[in-house]
Amino acid sequence: MIPTAPLGRARLPVTRLGFGAAPVAGLYAPLDEEAALRTLAAAWDAGIRYFDTAPHYGVGLSEERLGRFLAGRPRASYVLSTKVGRRLVPYAGPAADVQGVDGFHGTPARERVRDYSADGVRRSLTESLERLGLDRVDVVLIHDPEGYARQALDEAYPALERLRAEGVVSSIGVGMNETALPARFVRETDVDVVLVAGRHTLLDAGAARALLPLCLARGVDVIAAGAFNSGLLADPGAPGARYDYEAAPGPLLARARRIAAVCARHGVPLPVAALAHTAAHPAVRTVLAGMRTPDEVHENTRAFTTPVPAALWRDLAEEGLLPEAAVGEE
């Protein structure tokens, strides 16, 4: 059974393992509708009740598929987050031209337009609700505002703050794969949550050095994504193993294999340790894992609920293989 934890000021009951819905929108390779819905059904059957999506994922395909899957299920039975900052517009050229853009395949003929204005936020959320077929979402995150920090702080955030005050959304925040700008949001605004991707893992302590302690001190909840760093910590022996969506650099590949060897001595699969490490920090309420197939759902839920012996963390620390600022494993 997957436990739950309260998220944001509305204390939303999120499962400690959440479903990241980018892969079911054709991340890395096309995925047909039937296969995507089977994966979502496997997640539901496994007890996952927190789902995260975004217009960016498959230029709306993720939201559309997730909405079709959730249709008819009691709205109070799950927690849903989406994002703002990229509006979608029809693509005027050949549909083939948009395939593979930002890593998504088999997508509709749309393109993304960055927009962190107040009007853009409202329009983006309205369009997301239409794709989802819902009248509300629970959490809205400002998505990847690097390069747009001033507009995101001055326009996007106040727009979300008003929507939260009006009761349109329950919790608001920012979602990124870096740590400095989310820390600014925590210091300068009244966000409820921060989603940080790939920066709190067995290979990267970027978030644990400053962002996670800051969130803990300010009462801002953390959604931790990218525990496998795009796949390297799931299987460092796989051909073409990725780190942060690209081919894994040699030194990181070697380090991941050393971590896997220590895990093997304790009879612990590397993904079990990777998920446990990311979940362990007291600021983290839920860990998002992207899942493409029912088998991946089963593997991740099994891994997430498998205990890790304290001796494994001690051995990793003794061999210098725990990232700096790691906490919570002992």
Give pLDDT, residue 328: 40
Nearest to 111, CA basis, from 129, 95, 133? 95
Q: Encoding tokens for residue 292?
A: 């493409």
Marked catalytic residue, from 28, 50, 57, 243: 57
Q: Residue 214: left if φ>0, alpha if ψ -120 to 50, beta else—which one? A: alpha
What pLDDT does residue 233 have?
A: 96
The alpha carbon of residue 42 and the mean position of all alpha carbons in its chain are separated, in whole angstroms, by: 18
d(CA 159, CA 153): 10
Instruction: Give the contacts of 130 (CB within 8 A, at least 6 positions apart).
Output: none
Kindly give, in sequence order, each residue whose CB lies less than 8 Å from that of residue 88, ignoring residues fewer than 6 positions away: 55, 59, 60, 110, 111, 112, 113, 127
Residues 20 and 81: their CA atoms lie apart, in Å, by 10
> Can you list the residues of the chain whose pLDDT is less than 70?
325-330
Sole residue written with tokens 């009006």: 166
Buried-exposed string 50-84: b where 16+ CB fall within 10 A, e elsewhere: bbbbbbbbbbbbbbbbbbbbbeeeeeeebbbbbbb
> Are the C-beta atoms of residues 68 and 40 closer than 8 Å to each other?
no
pLDDT tens by residue, 242-259: 898 888 999 999 999 999
- Note the pLDDT of residue 326: 53
57 is catalytic: yes
Task: Report which secondary-structure segment, H or E, holds 300.
Answer: helix 294-304
Q: Fill in the DSSP letter of residue 29.
A: S
What's this model's pTM, rounded to 2 decimal places? 0.95
Rounded CA gap, 231 and 270, in Å? 11
Confidence (pLDDT) at 94: 85
Question: What backbone phi and psi angles, to 5 degrees, belong to 188?
Answer: -105, -10
